[in-house]
Each structure stands twice: as C-alpha cells, then as structure tokens.
Amino acid sequence: MICLKNHEFSPKATFECGQCFRWTADDKGYVGIAGGRACRIRDGRLECPEEDNAFWRSYFCLDMDYSAMKAFLLEQDPTLEPCLDYGQGLRILRQDLWETVISFILSANNNIPRIKKMIEGLCKKFGEPIAFEDKILYSFPSTQCIAGLKCSDLAALKLGYRDRYVMDAAVFMASHADSIAWQQLSAEEARQTLMQIKGVGRKVADCILLFALGCYDVFPQDVWIRRIMGQVYQTPERSTQEFAQQKYGYYRGFAQQYLFYYYRNHAGKIQG
C-alpha cells in the first residue's frame, strides 16, 4: 500500500484529463491496470501487492515534487492560477511506451468513451487475464502478439481505418525493440522516430513523448489548445510552439495539461 496523501495527487484530475484510458471509477474509488499489474485507489491510498510498490511509484512519478514546477509556471504566467487550482493533484503519469503509442493512435478523431472501449476490446481479445478483487482485468497485448496478426484479426474490434495503423505500429515497435534507445534521444529525435509510424502525426507524437517518455518540454496541440491559445492568449496557431517554449520553458507539457483540463471542463470560457 502507498499513501498518496503524502503527495499532490487527485485521482479524478489525473485519470480524467485525457492522458490515460484504463482507469475506471466505481463506488470504492478507481481501479486500474498498467504493466500487467492491477491496483485500487481508495481514500488516498494505493492498494496493491507490496512487490508492485516500486512500479506504481514510478508510474505515478511520486519522486517528483510538483511545488517548484507550479511556482515557476505561476511566476511566468499568473493567468494560469485558476487552471492550477482546478487541476490541483493532476499528475502526469509515466506510462508504457507501446501502450501509449496505440492509445493515442486510437485517440485521433475520437472521443474518450469510444477510445476506452476500443482499448478494452483489444486487451480482452489479445491480452492476458488478471484476477483482481472480484474482477477479471486484461493486460495490454504485447507488440509481438499484435505484430503477428492480420488486419482482419482486428475487424471485430471495429477500429475502422485505425486497424492498419495499429498493425504498422506493432511491426515498427517490435522490429526496433532492441535498436532504439528511446531515453537517449532528444525530444525532436524521438518525435521524428515516432512519426515514421503510420497514424502518428505531430500531436500524437507529442502526447506519446509527454505521457510515456517524460519529455515535459513538449506542448501537444489539438483543437482545444488552438482555441485556448487564440482566445485566451491571442496567439495564432503558427506561433503556439514558440509562445509555449518562451513562456513555460521545460515545463510546457505541464502547462498544456493544466490549460487543457481547465478549459475543457469550463467550455463556456472559450468559444467553440
């Protein structure tokens, strides 16, 4: 068990900000699965087998103190204050690279309930069952498992045109498993490598960099961020990346998450 009350952590803000898709709320808290391990978040505690503690500490980045980062962002941009307050306890997770690649390929032109349904279907069909509490959860299938399939094997999941992207990603990741030292690449090098996968453009690549590789100096840009930058900061789309770099520096990935989470849930503050 890990006491999350000792850290700045809100399960709702963390799990419902659009960075992850395998956490489910129930009347006891949240249940989630990652890295073939399951756990429950309840009353400020993370309940899991003791041997999994190190994994979850890394997954939730509990070694990072958010106070200095938030102080820097607020000094740079006082208009972030309501975003930081609303996103109190939002933590950027350190997710598995392969799972994050597929999750954000499936996220393109999609909504969160459907993304979760697609991912859950993929896991139920090709993952391994894991008993947890009174439930059966399913691990995320391996690259080798998916790479060995045909697009027709994915048809029942109703991924649409994304099935060929999933297959291409699996083949790419499996064939480069031992040849790419991801942690040694710069953000730009990793971005260009990811964009060799079909279905991975700049926005999807930046989400993968932020949520799996700990590249906090990226600023994923979707329709919401474009609206926020244009209406709140009067920054045209072509200047967004330069603005974010100059304004937020290394922590611009965090700024993006606080901005997205706040304005996505306060849609009336910006025009659709």
Q: Backbone phi, then psi, for 216, in 5-degree steps?
A: -75, -5
Domain definitions of the chain by residue range: 2-59, 66-92+219-269, 97-212
Beta-bridged to residue 116, according to DSSP, are none
Protein fold of 97-212: Endonuclease III; domain 1 (1.10.340)
Tell me what pLDDT residue 5 has. Answer: 79
d(CA 120, CA 123): 5
| Span 219-251, pLDDT tens digits | 999 999 999 999 999 999 899 999 999 999 999
Q: Identify the helix (H) or strand (E) that includes residue 46.
A: strand 45-47
Location of structure tokens 């070694």: 63
| Span 93-144, pLDDT tens digits | 999 999 999 999 999 888 999 999 999 999 999 999 999 998 999 999 999 9
Catalytic residue from among 125, 198, 203, 247: 203
Q: What contacts 17, CB < 8 A, 6 or more positions away?
A: 87, 90, 257, 260, 261
**What three-state secondary structure class fits 33?**
strand
Tell me what pLDDT residue 38 has. Answer: 96
| Span 8-34, pLDDT tens digits | 899 999 999 999 999 999 999 999 999
Location of structure tokens 């691990």: 139
Helix ranges (H only) for 112-219 are 112-126, 143-147, 162-175, 187-194, 202-212
Told to judge if 203 belongs to the known catalytic residues of this protein, a careful annotator would answer: yes
Helix ranges (H only) for the chain are 11-15, 53-59, 66-76, 81-86, 97-107, 112-126, 143-147, 162-175, 187-194, 202-212, 223-231, 240-248, 252-264
**What three-state secondary structure class fits 129?**
strand
Give the burial class of 138: count Cβ atoms within 10 A of its Cβ; 0-12 exposed, 13-18 middle, 19 or more buried. Answer: buried
Q: Give pTM, 2 decimals.
A: 0.95
